[in-house]
Amino acid sequence: MFGLKAKRHLTRELAITPPQGELNRHGIAIVACVKNEASYIAEWVRFHQAVGVRHFHLYDDGSTDGTVELLQRSLTGQELTVVPWKMRMRDEQSGEFLNGQTIAFAHAILNFGGKYERMAFIDVDEFLLPKKGRTLEEALRGAGGFPNISLPWHMFGHSGHVSRPAGPVCLNYKMRVSDPMRQNLDASNFKCIVDPVEVTKVGVHHFQTRSYGDETANDAGIVVPKKRRKDAEFYSAEFIQLNHYYAKSIEELKEKTDRGWSFDGSAEKYRNKVTSTITYIEANAIEDRSMIDFVDKNGIDLGQ
């Protein structure tokens, strides 16, 4: 892009003034950036609707495969907001790309956050699985009302699939990395659920709040500073588990790396990152049927 080997440091975190909460604010919204996700996004939406998500704020990076039209057929105006989001901006002096995902998350909080008690910031290959209770609101009780919850990735690999299998993603893939807290690897990170009217700093994987600074809670209510999130003692998936269906089939992973990531300035860096991540997942995989059991127990219709 632009002939530059660019980095994304300038907007890794953004300081904001929290929005005012509306009198009737309630429910949970999901915020995500999307591009050409028509193959799988209906399943993702159906699942999160089934676990109680009130609204989807989706930032579309110029999809050409019918993603937006599919979403508009699947969801009402009360359930969906699509924001056009072709983010290709650089800092003039350094040439560094601005992180469009971070900016999207900040935009969502500032413009829509006052409507909701919680906002979750995830990708469309990530599923928020309640482990206690039928809905996310029930599962969130485990965190004791803390305004900044960090959920570790549970990274799923190929599960033996060379090409795309028939049926839903979250039922076809059951082999994931054994240790979600392993340090200094691309297979280890967090996504967050926050109280938007408390947020003072926004990042893709970390938020700060006015009441607690950079402290964050796990799903069971254990609170630590950001720098201690990868301590083994912080790990929990007792109430909510974040399933990241990172690789899908071998053929689909190749397509993913060839396509590149919309907000990454270096295609080579992205390919190397994906290769090292899936190599680690596949070498350290265990079976995890918690999603399959949840869908079966609750009779969730994923539409495939």
pLDDT bin (cut points 50, 70, 90) of residue 276 is confident
Q: Is the pLDDT of residue 185 over 70?
A: no
| C-alpha atoms less than 13 angstroms from C-alpha of 237 in its C-beta half-sphere | 17
In a domain, 167, yes or no: yes
In a domain, 4, yes or no: no
Q: How far, in whole angstroms, is CA 121 from its chain's centroid? A: 5
In a domain, 54, yes or no: yes
pTM, full prediction: 0.93
In a domain, 2, yes or no: no
Q: Kindly report the CATH number assigned to the domain that includes residue 73.
A: 3.90.550
Query: Which pLDDT does position 266 carry in this prediction?
Result: 63
In a domain, 175, yes or no: yes
pLDDT bin (cut points 50, 70, 90) of residue 224 is very high
- The more confidently predicted of residues 235 and 92 is 235
State mean pLDDT over 178-207: 90
For the chain, the domain total comes to 1
Place of tokens 């570790």: 152
Query: Over the chain, what HEC string results?
Result: CCCCCCCCCCCCEEECCCCCCCCCCCCEEEEEEECCCCCCHHHHHHHHHHCCEEEEEEEECCCCCCHHHHHHHHCCCCCEEEEECCCCCECCCCCCECCHHHHHHHHHHHHHHHHCCEEEECCCCEEEEECCCCCHHHHHHHHCCCCEEEEEEEEECCCCCCCCCCCCHHHHCCEEECCCCCCCCCCCCEEEEECHHHEEEEECCCEEECCCECEEECCCCCEEEHHHCCCHHHCCCCCEEEEECCCCCHHHHHHHHHHCCCCCCCHHHHHHHHHHHHHHHHHCEEECCHHHHHHHHHCCCCCC
pLDDT bin (cut points 50, 70, 90) of residue 219 is very high
Domain coverage including residue 34: 13-296
CB 192 within 8 A of CB 205: yes
Beta-strand relationship, 126-130 and 240-244:
antiparallel
pLDDT digits (tens, 9 = 90+) for 37-77: 999 999 999 999 999 999 999 999 999 999 999 999 999 99
- Calculate the dihedral angle through the C-alpha atoms of 127, 241, 296, 176, rounding to the nearest 10 degrees: 80
Would you say how long the chain is, in residues?
304
pLDDT bin (cut points 50, 70, 90) of residue 188 is confident
In a domain, 6, yes or no: no
In a domain, 55, yes or no: yes
